[in-house]
Amino acid sequence: MNAVLSLVDVLFKYKDHQVFDGLTFTIRSGEIVSLLGPSGSGKSTLIRLLLGFAAPTKGTVIIGDRIVSNNGRVIVPPEERNLAVVFQNLALWPHLTVYGNLDFGLSARNIDPSERERRISEVLDRLGLQGKGHRYPGQLSGGEQQRVAIARALVLSPQAILLDEPLTNLDAALKRELVTVFRDLFKEFGITALYVTHDLREAAALGDRIAVIESGHLVQEGTLTDLRREQATSFVQSLIEDLDWDVMRYVK
């Protein structure tokens, strides 16, 4: 499979703090990768580099076959990278209906109105949001808002979707439901996705591969089985030891 998202030998400094020092990380086409790490490990900075909100101090960011950032320069701006992102706070427009939230990005790309309507109807139907296009985000449940945020990303047909801990504020039962929905959708649409989390259960349930990051270093990659077999650091060992295996029934 071809690489869709790549960071190559990336060094990144913020003020006097060195976040990354020689980080290399790749996600292949159609792959779902869960990026797992504690707070302050560099997860959100990695997303900012991919989106183009920051440039590596040294090193290269590649999307598809294009170098988009290199050695301190943003070459391709965020709006031209064809990436969709779902943030922890979802960032839905409260003054727009569900339909309006989905249509906003499509209209900005000057897509034909009939094609926009077709895409929106298809995605709303697939996410179980039929008949709710006229509602506003404040009129929806937390789970429905999550679905709208994912629908808004999917409708753009992006090269990849980046998800920055979108399920943090939901209860365990709803998390299990949405993790399954997300994985099924991404596989159905052939989506390449990076799912950032600090929860090993979510990471294992959604990702084809788990990439563990600590203090800006990629310390271990593999499936949950790989991580159970051998732990590269004490942090990974603590995750495995603390995991409640009774709640792992929803892991693929």
Residues in the chain, overall count: 252
Number of other CB atoms surrounding residue 125 within 10 Å: 12
What is the pLDDT tens value at each position of the chain, 252 positions in all? Answer: 699 999 999 999 988 889 999 999 999 999 999 999 988 899 999 999 999 999 999 999 999 999 999 999 999 999 999 999 998 888 899 999 999 999 998 988 888 999 999 999 999 999 989 999 999 999 999 889 989 999 999 999 999 999 998 888 788 888 888 888 889 989 988 999 999 998 888 899 899 999 999 999 999 999 999 999 999 999 999 988 877 654 455 555
For 233-238, which contacts have Cβ atoms below 8 Å and span 24 or more sequence positions?
235/38, 236/212
Neighbouring-strand partners of residue 222:
210
The pLDDT score that the predictor gives to residue 1 is 62
- Residue 14 tokens read as 């913020």
Give the fold, CATH level 3, of 1-77+193-252: Rossmann fold (3.40.50)
CA-based Rg of the chain, rounded to a whole angstrom? 18
